[in-house]
Structures are given as C-alpha cells and as structure tokens.
Amino acid sequence: MQNKKLTTLACAAAFAALSGAANAQISGDTVKVGVLTDLSGTYSDLAGAGAVLATQMAIDDFMAEAKPAFKVEMVSADHQNKADIASNKAREWFEREGVDVATELVTTSTALAVMKIAKEMNRVALMSGPASTPITNEQCNDVTVHYTYDTYALANGTARAVTKQGGDTWYFLTADYAFGQALERDSSAVVTANGGKVLGSVRHPFPASDFSSFLLQAQASGAKIIGLANAGADTTNAIKQAAEFGITPKQALAGLLMFISDVHSLGLKNTQGMYLTTGFYWDLNDDTRAWSKRFFEKQNRMPTMVQAGQYSSVLHYLRAVQAIGSDDSAKVMTQMKKTPINDFFAKDGQIREDGRMVHDMYLVQVKKPEESKYPWDYYHVRQVIPAAEAFQPLSESRCPLIKN
C-alpha cells in the first residue's frame, strides 16, 4: 500500500519534471483528459454519464482520424455539484495523476473552483456545463474555455424573443444564489433594452420543492411573462405547479435555462409553446442527427447541448495538441484560440481572448404533443442567433485579460 503510494508519488514527480521541461513534448507520452461532472445529482441527466460518453466518443474519433504518436486517456469523477469536492479532485488529478485538462464542470460553483486551480497549476479547463457569465468576466483567466453557452446568451435569446413577441411585462422567479441572480440580472437587462418592463422578482430557496406561494406572488404581479431564473428540478417543479394553479396559460412561463432533458422529463403537454435558447439541437441537420444517433445508441437518450459541446470541446483540444505536438497549456490555448471550430456542433466557432467560445445559438419553441412526429421530436427552431449577436460583446467584457 505504502509502496504503491510512493510509486505514484515518484511518477507524479517524473511527470512534473517532464512537463517542466516544457519543450514541444507530451508529458508521459499521454494526454490525460479528466471529466469532472455531476454523475448523481440534479444535473446528471443533462451532463453526467452522457458527458463521459461524449468524451470517450471524442477520444475514439480523434484516435481514428489523427493516429497520434501519443496516448489519450480519460478519467472521470463525480463532483456532486459541490465546489469542495470538485476542487479536491482537480487538485489531486493535477498533482498526482498528471491530468492535462479538466473538462465539463457543470454548476458554476465547481467551475469557478476548478478554473482557479487549473490556473495555479498551469493546466487547461474546458467548460461545457456551467452557465454563469463571471467565468469569462470578473473571474476569467487564460487557461479556461467556456464552451457551450452562458447566462448572457440564454437571456439574450429567450428574453429578447419573448419580449419582442409582446411579452413585455416580466416577473422573475429566481433561485436565490449566484447563478439565479446572474440569470435574472442578464435577463432583466435584455427585457428593458427591448422596451419591456420588469415588474419585480421573488427569490426562492435552493433547492425548493414547493413553488406555489412564489408562483402566486408572480400571479398577483399581473406580469404577462413569468421568467424562471433557475435550473434543473427547480424549473421542472415550477412549471408543473404553474399549470396546476391555472397560472399558465393565462400568464406565460419563460424557462431561461432549460435543456432537452427537462422537456423530456416534463413531457410536451406541460411544456408546449415555451421558448428556450439552446446551443445545440440533435435534429438540426444531417450532421447533428448522425452524431446524435451514435450517442443515442449507447445512452438511450438524445444528447443535450452540454453533452454535444463536451464532445466538440475535447476534440478541439486534442486536435490542437496534435497540431503543435505539445500539451503545454499556454501553447495549446494559443493554438485552440487561433483555430476555428468546425464540426457538427459549431460552424466557424471561435474562442475569444476572454475564453468565451462563440458560435451560433438557436431560439426554439417546444412543439405541441400533436406536432411531435417521432421520439425526441420536441422543438421548432424559430431563429438562428448568429455567433456575433448571441454572446456578450468583448466591448462589454469585465475580464481583466481584455484591454478595453
């Protein structure tokens, strides 16, 4: 036991020495990808095992296409949505196991914790799951890529579309923590900018199971739109209970962060007509369908945008390592930023200086049950939001790396 630990330690030291050499080299001739995700909690359906599968698919596809001289390994762990567990695991991976890149990281708190450690230890963090804008603003650093979506893009898509279509008075139902508040703040700005009015908001504890009283407050406000600035089980519960209290369809709900997995678990009957913004939908074109079909065969669910983004981000990272023949973080980051991303997930995707990957987003509306022709046929794509408009412009960035 003790011996084994010593060996591990020696290995770690060797890794450290090698990467210290920092020439065009790959430490240990192995690129190690760590998937740190929620395997058991609220977000396990939208990230979780599906994200691990997506990573494995990316690695397999990369090995087949590039036939690299180095090995690629994957490790995965459950962070249970807790910053402390994520931070400990990432530290251990970087210090002891020679992991080169930590990926996925759903839940803002885990993402913020890991990106700090990645910076400290000079490794890369690829974030597909988390939502909050501080990742590429106040907290930004040069080893992090925020890949799939963020609260700004969601607010910008959903809140703008809904406001423009006449939903011009809003009341927010907000999960009372940083993520919910960021989502409310970003959405309120969009509503006001498009000529709408925010009548108020109510903060609910996280997590909450009974939303009836909060919904009644939203009802009493008389707003046309009740914006749900929460996620996961909170959102699905709020939607169910709004229907129960006869709030919908008199007032409409806008789910500001919803995934196809939420629509799937609530059913079309409860979600029909809702607008939502997504970075990916499996049924967009032949490429997305082909990839999603492969995913579905293994997972028995269609991929969420997080899982699809996870595949794309890992593949992009591995291609960058292959291109420069090094896993040195700074060099890989430079290569990743300079290469546009073109795959089934993104067309001409670009990683900006602040770490934000910008790509087209989609405004979709959930189909009525009778419009759904086959399993997982859930969305009408109402609008493609071009990359340039979808995300927060660099000129508004609060990231210290950006010199405005």
Partner 1 sequence: MNNNSMFARATPYLFGALFVIGLIAPFAVYPTFLMKILCFGLFACAFNLLLGFAGLLSFGHAAFLGTAGYVCGMLVRDVGVTPEIGIIGGTVVAGLLGWVFGVLAIRRTGIYFAMITLALSQMVYFLVLQVKATGGEDGLQGVPRGNLFGIIDLSNNISMYYLVFAVFCIGFFIIYRTINSPFGEILKAIRENEPRAISLGYDVAKFKLLAFIISASLAGMAGATKTLVFQLASLTDVHWHMSGEVVLMTLLGGLGTVLGPLIGAATVVSLQTQLADSVGSWVTVIMGVIFVLCVLLFRRGIVGELQALIQRAGIR
Partner 2 sequence: MSHRGAASGAPVREFHMEIFGVPSALLGSQLLVGLINGSFYAILSLGLAIIFGLLNIINFAHGAQYMMGAFVAWIALTKFGINYWVSLLLAPIVVGALGVVIERTMLRRLYKLDHLYGLLLTFGLALIFEGIFRDQYGISGQSYEVPELLQGGVNLGFMFLPIYRAWIVVAALTVCFGTWFMIEKTKLGSYLRAGTENPQMVQALGINVPLLITFTYGYGVALAAFAGVLAAPVYQVNPLMGSNLIIVVFAVVVIGGMGSIMGSIVTGLGLGLIEGLTRVFYPEGSAVVVFIIMVIVLLVRPAGLFGKT
Q: Which residue has the tokens 């990106």?
A: 115
Q: If you compute the radius of gyration of the chain from its CA atoms, what whole number of angstroms results? A: 21
Task: Decide: is 236 part of the binding site for partner 2 (CB under 8 A).
Answer: yes
Nearer to partner 2, 102 or 239 (CB): 239
Task: Assign 392 to helix, strand or coil.
Answer: coil
Q: How far is the CB of 195 from partner 2 (least distance, A)?
A: 17
Task: Decide: is 180 part of the binding site for partner 2 (CB under 8 A).
Answer: no
- Looking at residue 3, its amino acid is N
DSSP track, 52-113: HHHHHHHHHHHHHHH--SSEEEEEEEE-TT-HHHHHHHHHHHHHHS---EEEE--SHHHHHH
Among candidates 174, 165, 147, which has minimal Cα distance to 55?
Answer: 147
Nearer to partner 1, 8 or 342 (CB): 8
Among 25, 192, 212, 372, binds partner 2 (CB under 8 A): 212
Binding-site partner at residue 83 among partner 2, partner 1, none, CB < 5 to 8 Å by type = partner 1
DSSP 303: P
Single out the segment in contact with partner 2 by CB under 8 A; choices: 21-29, 223-231, 317-325, 387-395: 223-231
Binding-site partner at residue 393 among partner 1, partner 2, none, CB < 5 to 8 Å by type = none
Nearer to partner 1, 116 or 331 (CB): 116
- Binding footprint of partner 2, residue count (CB under 8 A): 46
Contact string 240-269 vs partner 2 (x = CB under 8 A): xx--xxxx-xxxx--------xx--xxx--
Nearer to partner 2, 31 or 173 (CB): 173
Whether residue 134 is preceded by a cis peptide bond, meaning omega within 30 degrees of 0, is: no
List, in sequence order, every beta strand (DSSP E) within 176-306: 197-204, 225-229, 252-255, 275-278
As a dihedral over the C-alpha atoms of residue 317, residue 322, residue 323, residue 326, rounded to 10 degrees, the angle is 90
Contact string 31-60 vs partner 1 (x = CB under 8 A): --------xx--------------------
Single out the segment in contact with partner 1 by CB under 8 A; choices: 89-97, 151-159, 311-319, 340-348: 89-97
Task: Decide: is 376 part of the binding site for partner 1 (CB under 8 A).
Answer: no
Token pair recorded at residue 395: 């000129």
DSSP 183: H
Contact string 90-119 vs partner 1 (x = CB under 8 A): -xx--xx-----------xx--xx--x---
DSSP track, 277-289: EES--TTSSHHHH
Task: Decide: is 10 part of the binding site for partner 1 (CB under 8 A).
Answer: no
Q: How far is the CB of 79 from partner 2 (least distance, A)?
A: 14
Contact 156, 278 (CB under 8 A): no
Q: Could you list the residues that contact partner 1 (CB under 8 A)?
A: 2, 5-6, 8-9, 39-40, 75, 77-78, 82-85, 87-89, 91-92, 95-96, 108-109, 112-113, 116, 176-179, 205-206
